[in-house]
Each structure stands twice: as structure tokens, then as C-alpha cells.
């Protein structure tokens, strides 16, 4: 297959910020008023892209990369304020759910949001907001994944400890009689989950429309692998490499690298690619289609795994004993293109990248990623220096997996500091904005800066430390004071200077 030559793209810029990191009174950011105010800030600064992490319901360790579903949305992102505007919640109920400002405390935020969603569902079930009924009915009938997810989640609420393979045998094996009993016994809980997903989809669509009217697009994120403790694996175990007890035979991860000396053992089950080939990769097509219904473009996390993936025996406690196995590569991507048309995907091509991975990305014309921190400190690679970029890449100062640039700079050796200052002399006075300028000035079609770098924050604002599980991951939130409009004018000026400003009215 000849290489796909991408259409020329305009020069654009954006900011990386997960919605959970927005300020707000409910302990976690959501899709409501603060998200609309955030879009206004992006437009003010001439930004075209709002990049988010996966929007699915987070599972183990509160990680959006280990979700309970590859299709469902995160109910924590549902805005209580917007439910009140629909007539489904009262003002006093909103005020009673307010939590202190600060990092996300997922158990507290989930408890508060769940109480509000339960009240909103009870009112909707009893006839409130009747103008939404037809829309709700259409959504519930058209989302093919919804029934399995709603039942899975309702069962989990009754058996909260452990993973689904620890459930009663009939539910694990999806015995029809056991499933029918569960649907009957948990009918209201299942309906509530349908309603929560309807609220998420409706609010996200409204936010996306609000953003589009201001020249802002959403760049989503899709992990290559699926959590073993998910509705997807429970509902379609034949699509995954499982043993007779429906537990993974092999799990995903990466070999030892800059981030972890024993590698990263993610624990996700590997796919049964032969089973997926048998129906033309229909599950993957459905997944990508559903994601692209929510956002304008998608970052494919761990793109190199499509060419070859690191397979770890499930019994092994670390990733050291894994091996590389050929992935579905061009066969899968061609099937997706045939099913969906042009694919607005960004390939996360970080880590150990071989010529075969580069060839696969270039064959389909996907932009790659270039991380400026990796050009000057830590895992230094020449391909991350701006003079080595080509246009078809997305340039970043850092990502959610990196320290903030301020924190990263504090950990550089004197030799690394000297190399950075030779390349960008202004780094001596202002290293964070030196990297921002390098990203915006580069030839890369797109430049993305994490909000933490725009705000010049230190390690305390880091979003994730790969290979670790703890309360420090995924919990950072911006404050309302940090999102003052004037803080974004400097970014807006640089964005315009380097020809990246959105042309939309602001």
C-alpha cells in the first residue's frame, strides 16, 4: 500500500487539560459552566484545540486509561448545574453537594455526584423535564453498547469488591437466566445508568457545539488497550485472550525504559486478533466511530502497539519477562478507513519506535508526537529537537505523563541546562516559556501546551507519574483564580506571532 499523503493542515495551537482538572464546587471538574468558561479562554488566546484525556469512566487508580468501558462516558463529568437548568435538581440540593476546593478526591466527588444523579433520575423517571423524553428514548435505543454497560455497572454496585470475574458464576459466564434475574432485580439501577449516560452524551454534545461556535475543537484520547475489569471484556470475552476462567493469559505493558527500570505492567488483557479479524474488526470500528461522535480528532495512545505489542505472561509481576508480538498494523487501520472514511487520528509514537512503526504511521498519514522535554533532558532523542521536525507532527512541551516543564527543568543536570540554553538562550531567564515558544515557532502543524506550563506551575501540579498508583495521579485541578483571562494573553500573543491563531471571532 502506498504511503498516504496528508492534506496540508493549517497551523494551529491548543492546550491540554482534562475536564476533571477544571475548577468548580463539586470536587471535580465537569462539562458545565466552568467548561464553557474554559472554552471562552481558549478562544480568547486564539487556540484551536482543547486536548483532553479519555472521557470514559475511570477504573483502577482513578485512571482514565483503565476505564470500565471503552464506549461509556464518565458520569463524574455530568454537570449538576446543567441538570438544574433542565429542571431536574433544586438549588438547595446543589449547595448541599458542594465540596472544598483542591485536588480531586474521587470517593468524595463520586458520592456527591451519584446522589445528585440519583435524584435527577428519580425526577425524570417520575415525569420531570418531559421535553427530554424523546431524546432520551432515541439515545437509549441507538447506543448498542449501553445495555451491557448499564447492567455491568448496576451489578458492580451490588458486588463492589473485586473484578467481574469474582462475581457469581452465572453472571461471569453470562448465563441467560442469571442475566435475566439481574435485569429484573436491578431494573431501576440499570435505568439510572442509562440516564447518566444520556446526560453525559447530551452535555458533551452541547459543549462541543459551544466550542465549535468559538472556533475550538476537541482532541480526544483513545487507549489502545481495554481494562480487564470492564463491560467490554465481560460482554465479549471471545475478543480477548482469556483463559477458561475468563482471566487474561497475557497482559499489556512496555519493556524497561526511561519511565520505569522494570518496565510498565499495565495489566490489560491482550486482544484475540484472530477473532477480531473474523468480523472485519467490527468492535474497533464501533469504538472509533463512537469516540469520533464525541470529539473532532483522537490521539491513539501507544500507537506502536498496533505494529508490535509487548506481551507479558499474566503470572509475571513486572514487565521484564515480556516479548514483542506482531500487531494487526495496516490490516486493522485499512479496515477502519474503509468503514469510517478519513481517520482524524494522531499517533502517540513515543518510547521505543522502530522503522516499522514510522512506516505504518506514514502509510496512513497520521501526525506523530514530538515532546520538547525529551530533546533536552532525561530520555534525550534528537528527533525531538525542533529543527528535526516535519510538518506532520504535533509538538508538545510535555504531556500528562511528564513532569510540568518547571518541575522538569528543576531536575536537569548542569550539562542538560547548558544544552538547552545553547539551543534557546531565553531559557536562562524563563525556561518554561522558552519551550512554549519553541513549540509554537516550530514547523509542526499543531502545537499543544499543557495548562500547567501556561501557568508556569511546578511538580505539585503534575497530572500523572507513569507506572505508579496513588492519590497524586489524575487529581490536579486548576483554581478559578489561575484561569483569569489575563493569564492567557501572553499565550495568545505568541500564538498569533507564529501564525497559529484561530480565525474564529473572539
Summarised one tens digit per residue, pLDDT across range 72-116 is 999 999 999 999 999 999 999 999 999 999 999 999 999 999 999
* Unique residue bearing C-alpha cell 448465563: 175
pLDDT at 163: 93
pLDDT exceeds cutoff 80 at 196: yes
Tell me how far apart the alpha carbons of residues 286 and 69 are, in angstroms, rounded to a whole number: 13
CB-based burial of residue 455 (10 Å sphere; 0-12 exposed, 13-18 middle, 19+ buried)?
middle
pLDDT at 466: 84
Could you tell me where the beta strands, DSSP code E, fall in 255-361? 264-269, 297-300, 308-313, 323-326, 345-347
Residue of 305, 325, 301, 355 whose CA lies nearest to 466: 301
pLDDT at 398: 97
**Is-catalytic flag, 348?**
yes
Task: Give 466 or 10, the one with higher predicted confidence.
Answer: 10
Judge whether 218 lies within some domain: no
pLDDT exceeds cutoff 70 at 505: no
Q: What is the pLDDT of residues 367-410, one digit of tens each?
A: 999 999 999 997 778 999 999 999 999 999 999 999 999 999 99
Total domain count for the chain?
1
Q: What is the pLDDT of residues 431-487, one digit of tens each?
A: 999 999 999 999 999 999 999 999 999 999 999 998 788 878 999 999 999 999 988
CA angle, 39 as apex, 35 and 44 as ends, to 5°?
145
Q: State how beta strands 308-313 and 323-326 pair.
A: antiparallel
Terminal Cα-to-Cα distance of the chain (whole angstroms): 43
Residue of 457, 447, 463 whose CA lies nearest to 482: 457
Judge whether 359 lies within some domain: yes
Kindly state the percentage of the chain with pLDDT values over 70: 97
* Choice among 296, 358, 401, 416 that is catalytic: 401
* Choice among 62, 148, 301, 311 that is catalytic: 301
Mean pLDDT of 351-365: 95
Helix 146-158 vs helix 176-185: crossing angle, to nearest 10: 70
What letter does residue 394 receive in the DSSP assignment? E
Judge whether 243 lies within some domain: yes
**Is-catalytic flag, 489?**
no
C-alpha cell at 24: 468548580
* Choice among 40, 241, 348, 445 that is catalytic: 348
Mean pLDDT of 314-327: 95
Alpha helices in 379-430 (DSSP H): 405-410, 414-423
Judge whether 351 lies within some domain: yes
pLDDT at 7: 61
What letter does residue 491 receive in the DSSP assignment? H
Residue 464's SS3 state is coil
pLDDT at 506: 47
Alpha helices in 21-96 (DSSP H): 33-44, 80-85, 91-96
Contact (CB, 8 A) for 496 and 6: no
**Is-catalytic flag, 86?**
no
- The pLDDT-based confidence of 3 (bands split at 50, 70, 90) is low
Judge whether 328 lies within some domain: yes
Judge whether 99 lies within some domain: no
Judge whether 489 lies within some domain: no
Q: In residues, how long is the chain? A: 506
Residue range(s) defining the domain that contains residue 283: 236-367
pTM exceeds 0.75, yes or no: yes
Judge whether 173 lies within some domain: no
Amino acid at each position: 500500500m502506498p504511503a498516504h499523503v496528508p492534506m496540508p493542515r493549517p497551523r494551529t495551537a491548543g492546550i491540554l487539560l482534562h475536564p476533571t482538572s477544571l475548577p468548580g464546587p463539586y470536587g471535580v471538574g465537569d462539562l458545565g459552566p466552568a467548561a464553557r468558561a474554559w472554552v471562552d479562554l481558549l478562544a480568547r488566546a486564539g487556540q484551536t484545540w482543547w486536548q483532553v484525556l479519555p472521557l470514559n469512566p475511570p477504573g483502577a487508580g482513578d485512571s482514565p486509561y483503565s476505564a470500565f468501558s471503552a464506549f461509556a462516558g464518565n458520569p463524574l463529568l455530568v454537570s449538576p448545574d446543567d441538570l438544574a437548568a433542565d429542571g431536574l435538581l433544586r438549588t438547595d440540593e446543589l449547595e448541599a453537594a458542594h465540596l472544598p476546593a483542591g485536588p480531586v478526591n474521587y470517593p468524595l466527588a463520586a458520592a456527591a455526584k451519584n446522589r445528585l444523579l440519583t435524584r435527577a433520575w428519580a425526577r425524570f423517571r417520575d415525569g420531570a423535564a418531559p421535553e427530554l423524553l424523546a431524546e432520551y428514548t432515541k439515545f437509549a435505543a441507538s447506543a448498542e453498547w449501553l445495555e451491557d454497560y448499564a447492567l455491568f455497572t448496576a451489578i458492580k454496585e451490588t458486588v463492589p469488591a473485586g473484578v467481574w470475574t469474582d462475581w457469581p458464576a452465572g453472571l461471569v459466564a453470562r448465563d441467560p437466566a442469571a442475566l435475566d434475574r439481574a435485569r429484573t432485580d436491578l431494573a431501576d439501577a440499570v435505568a439510572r445508568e442509562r440516564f447518566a449516560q444520556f446526560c453525559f452524551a447530551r452535555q458533551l454534545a452541547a459543549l462541543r457545539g459551544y466550542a465549535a461556535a468559538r472556533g475550538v475543537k476537541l482532541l480526544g484520547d483513545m487507549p489502545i488497550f481495554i481494562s480487564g475489569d470492564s463491560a467490554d471484556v465481560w460482554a465479549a470475552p471471545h475478543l480477548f485472550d482469556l483463559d477458561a476462567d475468563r482471566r487474561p493469559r497475557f497482559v499489556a505493558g512496555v519493556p524497561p525504559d526511561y519511565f520505569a527500570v522494570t518496565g510498565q505492567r499495565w495489566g490489560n488483557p491482550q486482544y484475540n486478533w484472530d477473532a477480531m479479524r473474523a468480523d472485519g474488526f467490527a468492535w474497533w470500528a464501533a469504538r472509533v466511530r463512537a469516540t469520533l461522535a464525541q470529539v473532532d480528532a483522537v490521539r491513539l495512545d501507544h500507537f506502536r502497539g498496533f505494529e508490535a505489542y509487548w506481551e507479558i505472561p499474566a503470572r509475571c509481576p513486572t514487565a521484564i519477562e515480556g516479548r514483542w508480538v506482531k500487531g494487526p498494523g495496516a490490516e486493522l487501520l485499512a479496515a477502519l478507513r474503509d468503514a469510517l472514511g478519513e481517520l482524524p487520528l494522531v499517533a502517540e509514537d513515543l518510547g521505543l519506535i522502530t522503522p516499522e512503526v514510522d512506516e505504518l504511521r506514514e502509510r496512513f498519514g497520521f501526525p506523530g508526537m514530538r515532546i520538547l522535554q525529551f530533546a533536552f533532558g532525561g530520555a534525550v532523542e534528537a528527533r525531538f529537537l525542533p529543527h528535526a521536525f516535519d510538518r506532520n507532527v504535533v509538538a508538545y512541551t510535555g504531556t500528562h505523563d511528564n513532569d510540568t516543564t518547571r518541575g522538569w527543568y528543576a531536575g536537569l543536570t548542569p550539562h542538560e541546562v547548558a544544552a538547552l540554553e545553547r539551543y534557546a538562550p531565553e531559557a536562562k531567564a524563563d525556561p518554561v516559556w522558552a519551550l512554549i515558544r519553541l513549540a509554537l515557532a516550530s514547523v509542526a502543524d499543531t502545537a499543544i501546551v499543557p495548562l500547567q506550563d501556561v501557568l508556569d506551575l511546578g511538580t505539585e501540579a503534575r497530572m500523572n507519574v507513569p507506572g505508579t498508583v496513588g492519590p497524586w495521579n489524575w487529581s490536579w485541578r486548576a483554581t478559578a483564580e489561575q484561569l483569569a483571562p489575563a493569564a492567557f494573553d501572553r499565550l495568545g500573543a505568541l500564538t498569533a506571532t507564529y501564525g497559529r491563531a484561530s480565525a474564529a471571532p473572539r
